[in-house]
Amino acid sequence: MLWDAFLQLLDLWIVAAALIGITTGVIIGAIPGLGPTMAIALLIPVTFAMQPVPAMILLLGVYQGAIFGGSISAVLLNVPGTPSSAATAMDGFPMARRGEGGRALRLALFASVFGNIFSCLVLMALAEPLARLALDFGPAEMAVLMLFALLVIVLFGGGSRLDALIMVLVGVCAGIVGLDPISGTPRFTFNSFAMESGFQLIPVLIGLFAMSEVFLQVFNRAPEVRADVMPELRSSHVSVAEMWRMRLTLLYSSMIGTFVGILPGIGSTVPAFMSYSLARSRSKEPETFGKGAAEGIAAPEASNNAVTGGALVPTLALGIPGDAVTAVILGAFMLHGLAPGPFLFEKNGLEVYAIFEALLFSSIPTVILGLLLFRAAIHVTRIQPRHLLPAIAILALFGAFSVNNNLFDVWVMLGAGFFGFLFRRSGFPLPPLLIGLILGHPFEQSVRQALLTSGGKFAIFADSPITLILLVLIVMSITTSVFVYFRSKRSGRDG
Amino acid sequence: MKITRRFGLALAAGMLLTPFVAQAADNYPDHAVKIIIPYGAGGTTDTSARQLASQTEKLLGQPIVVENMPGGSGANAMRAVAAADADGYTLIAATSSPSFVTPALRPVGYDPLKDFEPVLNYSGPYHGVLVKADSPYKTFEDMIEAAKSGTSLSFGTAGALGGAHLAFTSVAKQSGGALQHVPFNGASAATAAVLGGHVDISLVPAYRDLVQDGQLRLLGVLDGSRDPEFPDSPTLNDLGYKAEFPSIVGILAPAGTDPAIISKLETAFTKAASSDEFKKFMTKLGQPVRIMSGEALKKTISENFYAYQEIAKEISK
């Protein structure tokens, strides 16, 4: 079966489809506001005339490429192209500012490929049993998992924990605006129809990270980088030994990405930050994180790319898509006569395995394309910020508008930019705010769903093996961080 | 000099305007027609409307441009079309929720009955009443009996105050059974919840393969008519309840559009929607083709709008 499927791939059209898909994906992913969802949706009609296998390879190539492409602008400009690459910017941008942009991009590329291969192998080997496992995650399990994710970001995200907690709560509060998820009544919408959908993630993200950078530079009297002190471009070599040293980080991050990807509705941003926090807490030199640590780039990249394979598990095995991107991919599979669901593997096994293998082998063109692209892209770091700012501002405006073709989102973006500017000026970290905004609404929804199904009894949160394991993890992370806190306090007093 | 220029302009404008005034319907359409999709690109509503548009533009002789305007569960796009010029060049591919469910519940900024002129209905996925295959309830009556005898059953839907939620609330009222609503974020999440045993029942579309594979059992459908693929599953009306959630996907024009234009559009869209090509496409997408005239669609929308207003009143009591 696997060999037959492989033979199907030896076709010029399939190779061309993979190349075109990945290139398009990388470019679209690098532009803020144009995520993989839009790219795939726009390309579906183009694939109507194609055979099913090359068509799906083209579309999945766009998906993979876009997730990686988002990290290019995150590393070089500190403007995440996709929400999931916001974590990559935390160490990628400082490294690029040191003149090691090429190295940062290569680390991101190799980690992405690792995450991709890992999750593809999981998808091929375990799609059906894992899809069953995903079903065991009901509202109660999701609620505890999200609580755990929020906790990890606050405790191990780096910096002051109180600051992180405040920012998480700001994010959660911003997520309350909109329609109540259970009763459907408007909350804090001030009778405005536009506010009923709440604050959309992408305009907020672009505002917080990109627009606030513009404001910071505009209000900065002394420009940060002068032409004469521009960083020298340094060697971008990344050795195999260096990647090998990070093997555990890569493995854990890929596991987090794949697993969270399987669960519906969380997306790829949260696992990226979770992996970043885990890598930092496991590191022997946690103080280098945020200043251009290699593992701070590798961990989120491996994780957010591993989400692609994970997210396809329930989509293909059950016909249940976890998020907007996989919902669009599901539609594309159906249009090409490969209806995802329980019969997919029986009826179209050969095509499906051919598509999986193509996902695996697409790492080869991704690496080649990536390395070629970097040669040109890296020179962006040699452009002075004041020359880049207009371009960033315009990209931010267009990006926010293009999400829903809605002017309201542009105002949200500008507002988020202003708040982001204030927070950054006063030294508050932005990632916890983003995570609070992403998880706040679904966390509230799952807690309330769980209580509705249990008739209001809180016991449901300690009822299943999954919630128990997660509760143990929560207690362990709290005790660890309390222990580390007291130890560091004592050693501080001794020294 | 001035006068001649002004006169020339007036003449030119007059020449441009005359055909519009005199024979707007005869020349319709003389430029591209726009269809607004109230949801994002790539979803089933979007994909099917794009296919219908590409087939209809050949019949109309002018391109049909499809534009996505997501947000507010479809209400944003409806508001925009309600306010658009009623010249037949701006249409909307509307679904049940912004046409008669949401407007019955809260102010949305448009009147679904007075602001639109229905052209035709062409699709609408059947919503099923589904339980897990190992559930003790073999029929709809079994389930209601259980709900009446003390066990509170939970039912998942795609979201709070959707058509499925309201229709089933009405069933609970009429039967006196204890049915607890649990809203999810979309139909997929509600399907996953019933498969995982987190809720007892789910009211969702796109159930065919999971039912045929023996993972879910279909106890009934919420529509006014039975799903042709499962003719044995009763509708709520068959079961003796005065409740339904008819699923529509149709084309609406702003109210005040010239009736001649409406009938031109209806003829063209109906021809395209009843073609084998469209049927084949929709089957692949797992969507039914359900053609209804503009008149019939108008009736469905207004009947259900009033019915849902009644249910909404009861819920808020």
User: Which one has a higher pLDDT value, B8 or A154?
Assistant: A154
CB–CB of A83/A434 below 8 Å?
yes
Q: Where do the structural domains in chain B lie, given as residue ranges?
A: 31-125+247-316, 128-221
Instruction: Kindly report the three-state secondary structure assignment for every residue of chain A.
Output: CHHHHHHHHCCHHHHHHHHHHHHHHHHHHHCCCCCHHHHHHHHCHHHHHCCHHHHHHHHHHHHHHHHHHHHHHHHHHCCCCCHHHHHHHHHHHHHHHHHHHHHHHHHHHHHHHHHHHHHHHHHHHHHHHHHHHHHCCCHHHHHHHHHHHHHHHHHHCCCCHHHHHHHHHHHHHHHHCEECCCCCCEECCCCCCHHHHCCCHHHHHHHHHHHHHHHHHHHCCCCCCCHHHCCCCCCCCCCHHHHHHCHHHHHHHHHHHHHHHHCCCCCCHHHHHHHHHHHHHHCCCHHHCCCCCHHHHHHHHHHHHHHHHHHHHHHHHHCCCCCHHHHHHHHHHHHCCCCCCCCHHHHHHHHHHHHHHHHHHCHHHHHHHHHHHHHHHHHHHHCCHHHHHHHHHHHHHHHHHHHHCCHHHHHHHHHHHHHHHHHHHCCCCCHHHHHHHHHHHHHHHHHHHHHHHCCCCHHHHHCCHHHHHHHHHHHHHHHHHHHHHHHHHHHHHHC
User: Which one has a higher pLDDT value, A2 or A483?
Assistant: A483
Task: Please state, in angstroms and rounded to a whole number, the distance separating the CA atoms of residues A245 and B177.
Answer: 62
Q: Does B281 score more than 50 pLDDT?
A: yes
Q: Does A442 score more than 80 pLDDT?
A: yes
- Report which residue type is found at A219: F
Q: Does B16 score more than 70 pLDDT?
A: no
Mean pLDDT to the nearest integer, A461-480:
93
| Whether the complex's predicted ipTM surpasses the cut of 0.95 | no
Mean pLDDT to the nearest integer, A369-394:
83
Q: Which of A437-441, B15-19, B273-277 has the weakest average pLDDT?
A: B15-19
What are the Cα distances from residue B196, in Å, to A324, B104, B248? 21, 33, 29
Q: Does A119 score more than 90 pLDDT?
A: yes
pLDDT at residue B150, as a whole number: 83
Task: Please state, in angstroms and rounded to a whole number, the distance separating the CA atoms of residues A96 and A466.
Answer: 41
Q: Which of A32-46, A119-133, A339-353, B61-75 has the weakest average pLDDT?
A: A32-46
B contacts of A45 (beta carbons < 8 Å):
50
Mean pLDDT to the nearest integer, A366-389:
83
Task: Please state, in angstroms and rounded to a whole number, the distance separating the CA atoms of residues A256 and A277.
Answer: 12
Q: To the nearest whole percent, how much of chain A has pLDDT over 70?
A: 96
CB-nearest to B160 from A42, A134, A182 is A182
pLDDT at residue A232, as a whole number: 65
Q: Contact A180/B75, CB-based, under 8 Å?
A: no
pLDDT at residue B22, as a whole number: 44
CB–CB of B204/B187 below 8 Å?
yes
pLDDT at residue A185, as a whole number: 86
Task: Please state, in angstroms and rounded to a whole number, the distance separating the CA atoms of residues A9 and A358.
Answer: 7
CB-nearest to A320 from B192, B213, B281 is B192
CB–CB of B95/B248 below 8 Å?
yes
B188-242 pLDDT per residue, tens: 889 999 999 999 999 999 899 999 999 999 999 999 999 999 999 999 999 999 9
Res. B19 pLDDT band, cuts 50 70 90: very low
pLDDT at residue A265, as a whole number: 75
Q: Does A318 touch chain B (CB under 8 A)?
A: yes
User: Which one has a higher pLDDT value, A372 or A33?
Assistant: A372
Res. B5 pLDDT band, cuts 50 70 90: low
- B148 vs chain A: nearest CA distance in angstroms? 16
Task: Please state, in angstroms and rounded to a whole number, the distance separating the CA atoms of residues B34 and B37.
Answer: 10
Q: Where do the structural domains in chain A lie, given as residue ranges?
A: 2-225+241-494
Q: Check if CATH label 3.40.190.10 holds for domain B128-221.
A: yes
Q: Does A365 touch chain B (CB under 8 A)?
A: no
Q: Does B68 score more than 80 pLDDT?
A: yes
A contacts of B161 (beta carbons < 8 Å):
183-184
Res. A374 pLDDT band, cuts 50 70 90: confident
Q: Which residue shows structure tokens 């639109």?
A: B116
Q: Does B274 score more than 90 pLDDT?
A: yes
Task: Please state, in angstroms and rounded to a whole number, the distance separating the CA atoms of residues B185 and A110.
Answer: 35
Work out the number of other CB atoms within 10 angstroms of the CB of residue A12: 8
Q: Does A54 score more than 90 pLDDT?
A: yes
pLDDT at residue A254, as a whole number: 96
- B198 vs chain A: nearest CA distance in angstroms? 6
What are the Cα distances from residue B154, in Å, to A170, A357, B140, B290? 33, 42, 14, 31
A309-324 pLDDT per residue, tens: 999 998 898 888 877 7
DSSP-H helix ranges across chain B = 2-27, 44-60, 75-82, 96, 102-105, 140-148, 163-175, 187-195, 208-212, 259-273, 276-285, 294-316
Q: Does B94 score more than 90 pLDDT?
A: yes
Q: Phi and psi for A233 in degrees, rounded to 5? A: -75, 120
Whole-number average pLDDT of chain B: 90
Task: Please state, in angstroms and rounded to a whole number, the distance separating the CA atoms of residues B147 and B168.
Answer: 13
pLDDT at residue A166, as a whole number: 95
Work out the number of other CB atoms within 10 angstroms of the CB of residue A321: 25
Q: Does B251 score more than 50 pLDDT?
A: yes
Res. A139 pLDDT band, cuts 50 70 90: very high
Q: Contact B69/A405, CB-based, under 8 Å?
A: yes
Mean pLDDT to the nearest integer, A169-173:
95
* Tokens representing residue B312 in the block: 């909404």
pLDDT at residue B4, as a whole number: 56
Q: Which residue shows structure tokens 């959707």?
A: B162
Q: Contact B198/A138, CB-based, under 8 Å?
A: yes
Q: Which residues contact B238 (CB under 8 A, 6 or more apart)?
A: B220, B226
Q: Does A404 score more than 50 pLDDT?
A: yes
Q: What is the DSSP letter of B247?
A: -
Task: Please state, in angstroms and rounded to a whole number, the distance separating the CA atoms of residues A54 and B162.
Answer: 38
Query: Which residue(s) pair with B64 in the sheet?
Result: B33
pLDDT at residue B1, as a whole number: 45
Q: Does A46 touch chain B (CB under 8 A)?
A: no
Would you identify the CATH topology of the domain B31-125+247-316? Answer: D-Maltodextrin-Binding Protein; domain 2 (3.40.190)
Q: Contact A138/B71, CB-based, under 8 Å?
A: no
pLDDT at residue B24, as a whole number: 66
Question: In 3D, which of A163, A182, A88 has the Cα closest to residue A453?
Answer: A182
A contacts of B38 (beta carbons < 8 Å):
none
A414-433 pLDDT per residue, tens: 999 999 999 999 999 998 99
Res. A67 pLDDT band, cuts 50 70 90: confident
Determine which helix (DSSP H) or strand (DSSP E) holds B66, and give its type and residue range: strand B64-68
A contacts of B189 (beta carbons < 8 Å):
264-265, 320
Task: Please state, in angstroms and rounded to a whole number, the distance separating the CA atoms of residues A45 and A50.
Answer: 10
pLDDT at residue A202, as a whole number: 85
User: Which one has a higher pLDDT value, B206 or B16?
Assistant: B206
Mean pLDDT to the nearest integer, B252-273:
96
Distance of CA B112 to the CA centre of its chain: 12
Q: Contact B213/A449, CB-based, under 8 Å?
A: no
Residue of B nearest to A141 (CA): B198
Mean pLDDT to the nearest integer, A122-145:
89
Q: Does A19 score more than 80 pLDDT?
A: yes
pLDDT at residue A419, as a whole number: 96
B contacts of A336 (beta carbons < 8 Å):
284
B contacts of A332 (beta carbons < 8 Å):
42
